[in-house]
Amino acid sequence: MPAPSCTGFLSHGSVVLKQYHRPLLWIVIACLFGLDIITTSVSLGLGFHEGNPLMVPFAASPLLHGLVKIGAYLLLFGVIEQAVLFIRDQRPEEKPFFLRMNYTGLYGLILVSMVSLVWLYAAVIVHNIRIITAAAG
């Protein structure tokens, strides 16, 4: 059995986590975007209003609302994955220590951004569900 690493994960487990963390985050974010579209459409159907002023023009139509959210997801995906490719193409492992730390910091910022999106959309969905259940009950 492999020895535990300093993070508390088994060595093999941390490699698997490191290999799949971004795809897993993308799947979670996509599901949250979809749930946001559904819960927003339901709450608007119950007579409530869109809380995001940037989405007000699009929220009246579920199809348009969905297309805008899908477009936002694709834009985020493209920008973040291009940043990851940029880091990989620069081969930071061959750079001096301080440059390598900058690339590590950039990758950390990417992960923090993705996790922040998960928390933000989870909060929005919880808010929408509370509105829907209050109206139904």
**More confident call, 136 vs 73:** 73
Any domain includes 1? no
Any domain includes 38? yes
Contact residues for 26 (Cβ-Cβ < 8 A; gap 6+): 77, 114
Over residues 61-65, the mean pLDDT reads: 89
Any domain includes 3? no
The span from the CA of 130 to the CA of 14, in Å, is 36
Q: How many independent structural domains does the chain possess?
A: 1
pLDDT at 60: 83
Any domain includes 9? no
> Using one digit for the tens of pLDDT, what is the confidence trace for 2-54?
444 444 434 444 444 466 788 999 999 999 999 999 999 999 989 898 888 99
Any domain includes 8? no
Strand (E) or helix (H) holding 65: helix 62-89
Q: Of 114, 99, 121, whose CA–CA distance to 39 is shortest? A: 121
Domain that holds residue 68: 21-136
Any domain includes 15? no
pLDDT at 101: 65
